[in-house]
Amino acid sequence: MKLGSLKEGGRDGTLIVVSRDLARAVRATGIAATLQQALEDWSNVAPRLNALSESLNHGDADGVFDLDMQALAAPLPRAYEFVDGSAYLPHVARVRKARGAEVPESFYTDPLMYQATSAGFYGPRDAVKVVSEDYGIDLEAEIVVITDDVPMAVTPEQAAGHIQLVGLVNDVSLRNLIPAELAKGFGFLQSKPRSALSPVFVTPDELGEAWQGSKVHLPLVTHINGEWFGAPEAGVDMQFDFAQLVAHAAKTRPLSAGAIVGSGTIANEDTALGASCFAERRTVETLRDGKPSTPFMSFGDVVRIEMFDRAGNSIFGAIEQRIEQAARP
């Protein structure tokens, strides 16, 4: 099934079930008011939501309306946790090589991960607001999974059973603020503003054979201002699968229902498949030419991130956002 949230009913939105073709929807009235509420009682609520989804897709549900992407909030407008990994080591290796550094051996056995901003997510058509272009505005096209309650110290095999939904994220980064922050040795803060989530999250079974080994085996397609930017294969070159990432995040603490776990920027060894962020493209240019030639994003630029099944159907709908200057208070 496919689930989304309308921009109504408060900060957590109103839960809707969305048709497989992303054309119609129905409010989950009487089942769960919000997606967060549903995830907190997933074993009881999911079968009822699935029954409503079947009814919607068969054309006999009540209260059906045409889906308007502009009316959608993020499926989880705010979450208790968003932890983001960096599971695609070709990206990590290229970035480090460009500055003359090697990839530590530990990176191949222990995932990179940080605590990201989760108090608010942009909806799929909301503008990205940034104070200054000097910050180095970048997108990061990624896949995320959403969990129910995950006990502390689960194994990857156990963690796989706690992955209930899959979606996309534009993990916005302000690249020119990152070096100074990381130099302090205390991680990201100002360089990682709010991110955007895809119009819907889907249960893993919606992905069919593309969901194998806790990975999504499909390309993630990015366009900038209508021009192709990249379509790396998400199931290729992923050093750690999502079950491993969830287990890593839960090593010393339980994860609350509704926790979002990100893959990190999708990147392949084959650079002909393009990039999922400007930092990746600029790194490839630096390694090839000695310096980057592509600038970061400017106000007015539009990013579109989408994933299609093998038949060409959009799975999650598109994140499509304009970069805009934020008004100062």
Model pLDDT, residue 102: 82
- C-alpha torsion sign, points 91, 113, 137, 72: positive
Both structure tokens of 134: 């000097």
Both structure tokens of 197: 């989530």
Is the backbone of residue 145 left (phi > 0), alpha (psi -120 to 50) or beta?
beta
Model pLDDT, residue 93: 86
Each domain of the chain, given as residue ranges in start order, spans: 2-66, 76-325
Q: Where are the alpha helices (DSSP H) in the chain?
A: 35-40, 42-58, 89-98, 156-160, 178-183, 242-249, 278-289
Nearest Cα neighbor of 144 from 56, 245, 51, 227 is 245
Torsion of CA 274, 214, 94, 192, to 10 degrees: 90
pLDDT tens-digit series, residues 200-232: 999 999 999 999 999 999 999 999 999 999 999
> How many whole angstroms separate alpha carbon 164 and alpha carbon 149?
10
Q: pLDDT of the chain along its 329 residues, tens only?
A: 999 999 999 999 999 999 999 999 999 999 999 999 999 999 999 999 999 999 999 999 999 999 999 999 999 999 999 999 999 998 888 888 877 778 888 888 999 999 999 999 999 999 999 999 999 999 999 999 999 999 999 999 999 999 999 999 999 999 999 999 989 999 999 999 999 999 999 999 999 999 999 999 999 999 999 999 999 999 999 999 999 999 999 999 999 999 999 999 999 999 999 999 999 999 999 989 999 999 999 999 999 999 999 999 999 999 999 999 999 88
Both structure tokens of 120: 């608010």
> How many whole angstroms separate alpha carbon 95 and alpha carbon 52?
46
Note the pTM of the prediction, 2 decimals: 0.97
Model pLDDT, residue 92: 84
Residue 297 C-alpha from the chain's centroid: 19
Q: Tell me the CATH architecture of domain 76-325.
A: Alpha-Beta Complex (3.90)
The C-alpha angle 34, 167, 119, rounded to 5 degrees, equals 55
- Local structure of 4: helix, strand or coil: strand
Model pLDDT, residue 239: 96
Model pLDDT, residue 168: 99
Report whether 67 contacts 18 (CB < 8 A): yes
> How many whole angstroms separate alpha carbon 306 and alpha carbon 232?
12
